[in-house]
Amino acid sequence: MLIDSHVNLHATQFADDRETVIARARAAGVRAMLTICDRLDRFNSVREIAETHADIWCSIGVHPHESNDFLTLTVSDLTDHITHRVVAIGESGLDFYYEHSSREAQVKVFRTHIDSSRESGLPLIVHARDADDQMAEILEEEHARGPFKLLMHCYTSGPQLARRAAALGAWFAVSGIATFKTAEAVRGVIRDLPPERILVETDCPYLAPVPMRGRRNEPAYLPYVLAKLAEIRGWSLADAEARTEDAFFALFDRIPRP
């Protein structure tokens, strides 16, 4: 089964045709989706999508861009909202490229998410951009305090962070970026990722894969990502689909497997 491990279905880009987008995803063979929370004040909208669709689950968290608005975030602010439809913490992490929030705020809020992941047992969805060394150091330091499961979402960072995260047992998600002409370095890292810990995602409405690049992305475009992953790894499409399905359910083990 095709599974989109990272969608943003609450985004305003889907306000007018969300149900049609979900129907197109199912028609394209996508059998499950994980829709992501980026701010706590948007969580109810995210949760409602998951609660009204049997094949959609959700996360709870604060995107690093939004960290400045959540400096007093506590573990219970996240864990108190966990229901059977909430299967992950995040996405959270470090984005030192845009720095919409201060680095100090991002680190503080990220560590709270790690504590929440550790306490709840839910996997942590990690956003990392232009912060490889700092991310690796935080993950290693926190993992030494107590293990937690983590997914390096939309992985486009370098090989060193990939190796250090993999040593902690991290999973990695491949997105439409892998199809971009200029992304050979990303494809090089994908070739060396642990084969049993690779997922696929669209990160829609962003990062539409070739040949849809330039359009609003949606989960129906996931087959293009899977096909590129299969090409990069030298897998058949059926093998890539089976491997990414196995990886998804190994990570998100609170989702019942059909």
| Residue 211 CB neighbour total at 10 angstroms | 10
Question: What's the pLDDT score for residue 258?
Answer: 86
Determine contact, residues 158/186, Cβ cutoff 8 Å. Answer: no
- Show me where the domains of the chain are located: 2-251
Q: Backbone dihedral region of 124: left (phi > 0), alpha (psi from -120 to 50 degrees) or beta?
A: beta
Nearest to 106 by CA among 198, 188, 98: 98
Residues 6+ apart with CB under 8 A from 141: none
Determine contact, residues 192/174, Cβ cutoff 8 Å. Answer: no
Q: Give the distance, in angstroms, between the CA of residue 251 and the centroid of all CA atoms in the same chain.
A: 11
Q: Where are the alpha helices (DSSP H) in the chain?
A: 18-27, 43-51, 75-79, 103-120, 132-145, 159-167, 184-190, 222-233, 237-251
**Domain 2-251 part of CATH 3.40.190.10:** no
Mean pLDDT, each 10-residue run in order, the chain (258 residues): 98 98 98 98 98 98 98 98 96 96 98 98 98 98 98 98 98 98 98 98 98 98 98 98 98 95
Q: For 5, phi and psi rounded to 5 degrees? A: -85, 0
